[in-house]
Each structure stands twice: as structure tokens, then as C-alpha cells.
Amino acid sequence: MESIFEDSTKEPLASRLRAQKLADFVGQKHLLGEGQILDRALKAKKISSLILWGPPGCGKTTLGLLAAQELNAHFEYLNAAFCTVAEVKKVLARARERRKTLGRQTALFIDEVHRFNKLQQETLVPDTENGNVILIGATIHAPNYYLIPSLISRSIVAGFKPLEKEDVAALLKRALSDKEKGLGEYKVKIDEKALQHIAVMSAGDARTALNALEVAVLSTPPKDGIINIGLEEIKAVVKKNTVYDRGDENHYDTISAFIKSMRGSDPDAAVYWLAKMLKGGEDPRFIARRMVIFAGEDIGNADPQALILATSCFHAVEFVGMPEAQIILAHVVTYLAAALKSNKSYEALLAAQADIENEESQEVPEHIKTHSQDYKYPHSYGGYVEQDYGARKQYYFPGEIGGEKRIKEFLAGIRRKGPADKS
């Protein structure tokens, strides 16, 4: 029996199965559906540049190849991680010559285009502008963070989604039946639960799913000429794809979901996103810092204990370290998510900053300047005395919950005969 371990030069299954009709493209109907922007642009052959942005294994390279075919353009491939400016210039020179002599455009596919520095990206602009090349760039990172504006403005930016598990399962079944490029030459009987397990655990990454299937098929000895693959065989070769990279857009989406889950008082969701970040290798100190900010911004005086606990969490994470630090994080995350919420302190700051920005700056009243002889020391009057501290309006409006209710009642009492007009 053939083994991938004996034939290490064999092209991976995911690469062998790339070629397919545009109409059969799986999983990105929001881009290729009838009347959608990419479908319309390809049919009209009106693409100057195309940036394909999405997670690994969602079909960016495959669609790039198909787009070049649809546009009837000569195809050139570069990987930004391994080429220099000189190599890029050679490809562009060939493209100019090809258009001049043959009247044919070049579809230049650049994988991992986010790895190009600013100079390399700028090299592409003139030939993209005058139509010598149709740039097709693929990236797992948000283009606005990594690509220069002059490239983005000339491009259709197509955002890909992770494949649904039904799409991944369809691709796996196609691979098992394809005798020319897939695994159809083998007599494989795979349990439906095993197939679904791959589809779920690959987290929308078709490349991961196909590689797992190939390893399972080629490493399982046949019995009576049939390769039987069950759930146990699949569990031995497939690992969970967390779809989390500290450097990509998903990083920002995940921390956003984490914060919004705490703000929405959902400790279950908050713990889930915490677990995903930790599993993906996120720095626990980064998570703890965001929790400290959250306690001040979103809980405030509704539960003053929250900021103390969050700050203690940050220090504890620093000196305890992983893996035990995750226990402390879970403790405080659930507290913050379940705590009473108020952003009134933050709103007060924003309002005061707006006034400072837009109105004439207030001078410090003479009686509260340094070394003033007219300052009334509140403790000499039992803890409170009417006095002008320079505010001309009210900024802080405490809420009716938790600690803020007590603050509101206290301030209401002393503001009834306040020294300043705070309308």
C-alpha cells in the first residue's frame, strides 16, 4: 500500500484538489452568488486588483487561480514570504512585455501579500494602475492594517468566511470519490461520525480537514482490501484548529467578544472567549490589562471592588505565571461579568474633556490655589463645607444601582445648596 511517509514528494491532497469550476466553488456564496460583487466583476472581466482576505484554508488561493482562468490572463505566482523586490520587478517587466507583444494581461497572484514591506507594495502600484497586471493578493490579515492605501483603493477587497462544517464535509466526500486527484483510488469506508468530527475540528479550514483525511486514509492498514476509518482513527490524526492568531484580525475580534460578553453580564461567554485566547497562546497579561480597563470603564462605582480585584488579578498573573494564572483569570472574569455595571464615571470624563476641547478653559479659583489663605479645609467643618471648586456644570450623574446609589444620595444632599450653578 502507498504511504505518504514513503512518498514525501507527493503533492498534498489539498493542493491536488484545488482545480474546480467557479460555479462549484464551495463555501463563499456571499462573494460568488448570483449578482454578488465578485461574481459580477469576474463575469464583466472588470478587475484591476483583487485582495482576498480570510482565515487559512477557506479557498483564497483556489479562487485566485480560478479568477485568473476566468479573466483569460497569464498566471504568475509569488509568495511574499520568499521573494525580493528584484524578483517582483522581473515579473512586472515580463508582464509589460507580454502585454506589449501579445496584448495579454498577467494575473499576478501574491500569496501572503501582507508580508510585503511598503517598498515592495509600492513597486506594484504603477503596473496595477496601467493594467499590465491584475494583482490578486491573498492574506489572513485585515488589509487596512497591512497594505498601503494606494493598493487597497485600486482593489476589490473580498472578505472570506471560515467554511461551514457542511461545506467541509462536502469537500471531504468529494476527495474520497475523486480518482484522479483525490483518494478515489482507495477503497475507503468512513463512519459518518468520523467525517463530521473532521469537519467540526478543522474549524472551517479545508486544508486542515483534507490533510487529516489523507493521513487517516494512508496510515490505516486495509482489512480485506477495505480501509475502515472510524472516530478513533480520526481522533488520532486531527487536532483542534482554534482559529486564533495573536497577530491577525481574529485576535481583535476575540478580545472584542470577550469584553462585550463581560459588559453584557454573560460569564459563560466571557469564560469561553478567555479559554479560546489562552488556548491560542495569548499573553495572559494582555488579557488581565484589558480586565483592569473594563473594571474602570464599565463597572465603575456600581461595584468599586471590581477595580481592586482586577488590579490584583493583573499582579497575580505576573508573579504566578501560566498555567496557574488561568485559574485567577477565570475567577476574576466571572466576577466582572456578574458585577453591576455603570459607565457614569467614564461618561463624566468624556463630557469634561469635550468642554475643555470646545470651550474657554476655566481658571483655577484663587481660594484653592497653592498656599491660598482663603481655602476652607472640609475636615475643619465636619467633613463638608460649601465651596467653589471651579466646575460650572454637573458632569457626573450616578446611577441607581450598587455603590452608585449611595453616591447619588450623598451628592444630592450636598448639591441642594451648592456654591456653583451646575445646571
How does strand 156-159 pair with strand 188-190?
unpaired
Res. 14: pLDDT tops 90: no
Res. 271: pLDDT tops 90: yes
CATH number at 123 reads 3.40.50.300
Res. 314 pLDDT band, cuts 50 70 90? very high
Together in a domain, 202 and 103: no
Q: Tell me, what's the pLDDT at 337?
A: 94
Together in a domain, 206 and 258: no
Q: Which residue, 214, 237, 260, sits at the end of a domain? A: 237
Q: Tell me, what's the pLDDT at 33?
A: 66
Together in a domain, 82 and 204: no
Percent of the chain at pLDDT above 70? 87
CA distance 12 to 183: 11
Average pLDDT over residues 395-400: 88
CA distance 32 to 337: 40
Res. 267: pLDDT tops 60: yes
Res. 343 pLDDT band, cuts 50 70 90? very high
Q: Tell me, what's the pLDDT at 421?
A: 42
Q: Smallest Cα–Cα separation from 309: which of 286, 283, 323, 329?
A: 329
Cα pseudo-dihedral 313, 316, 322, 324, rounded to 10: -80
Asked, for residue 97, whether it belongs to a domain, the answer is yes
Together in a domain, 149 and 186: no
Res. 4: pLDDT tops 60: no
Asked, for residue 3, whether it belongs to a domain, the answer is no
Res. 249 pLDDT band, cuts 50 70 90? low
Together in a domain, 255 and 334: yes
Peptide bond into 365 cis (omega under 30): no
Domain that holds residue 321: 249-338
SS (H, E, C) 360-422: CCCCCCHHHCCCCCCCCCHHHHCCCCCCCCCCCCCCCCCCCCHHHHHHHHHHHHHHCCCCCCC
Asked, for residue 23, whether it belongs to a domain, the answer is no
Q: Tell me, what's the pLDDT at 18?
A: 63
| Burial track 316-329 (b if 16+ CB lie within 10 A, e otherwise) | bbeeeeeeebbebb
Q: Which residue, 120, 140, 159, sits at the end of a domain? A: 159
Q: Which residue, 159, 188, 220, sits at the end of a domain? A: 159
Res. 1: pLDDT tops 50: no
Highest mean pLDDT among 96-110, 169-183, 386-400: 96-110
Asked, for residue 217, whether it belongs to a domain, the answer is yes
Q: Tell me, what's the pLDDT at 207?
A: 85
Instruction: Report which of residues 402 and 236 the model is more confident about.
Output: 402
Question: Average pLDDT over the chain, rounded to whole?
Answer: 83
Average pLDDT over residues 131-155: 86
Res. 388: pLDDT tops 80: yes
Average pLDDT over residues 266-292: 90
- pLDDT (tens digit, 9 = 90+) per residue, 286-300? 999 999 999 999 999
**Which burial class, exposed, middle or buried, applies to 86 when counting CB atoms under 10 A from its CB (0-12, 13-18, 19+)?**
exposed
Q: What is the DSSP string of 110-164?
A: EETGGGS-HHHHHHHHHHHHTTSEEEEEEESS-HHHHS-HHHHTTSEEEE--PPP
Together in a domain, 44 and 100: yes
Together in a domain, 128 and 169: no
pTM for this prediction: 0.57
- pLDDT (tens digit, 9 = 90+) per residue, 79-103? 988 888 888 899 999 999 999 999 8
Instruction: Report which of residues 135 and 421 the model is more confident about.
Output: 135
Res. 256: pLDDT tops 50: yes
Res. 21 pLDDT band, cuts 50 70 90? low
Q: Tell me, what's the pLDDT at 7?
A: 42
Instruction: Report which of residues 73 and 343 the model is more confident about.
Output: 343
Count the domains in the chain: 4
Res. 35: pLDDT tops 60: yes
Together in a domain, 38 and 132: yes
Res. 5: pLDDT tops 50: no
Average pLDDT over residues 343-370: 86
Asked, for residue 120, whether it belongs to a domain, the answer is yes
**Which burial class, exposed, middle or buried, applies to 211 when counting CB atoms under 10 A from its CB (0-12, 13-18, 19+)?**
buried
Mean pLDDT lowest for which of 201-205, 212-216, 289-293?
A: 201-205
Together in a domain, 147 and 105: yes
Together in a domain, 134 and 255: no
Asked, for residue 92, whether it belongs to a domain, the answer is yes
Asked, for residue 307, whether it belongs to a domain, the answer is yes
Asked, for residue 389, whether it belongs to a domain, the answer is yes
Q: Tell me, what's the pLDDT at 423?
A: 42
Instruction: Report which of residues 355 and 10 the model is more confident about.
Output: 355
Together in a domain, 376 and 301: no
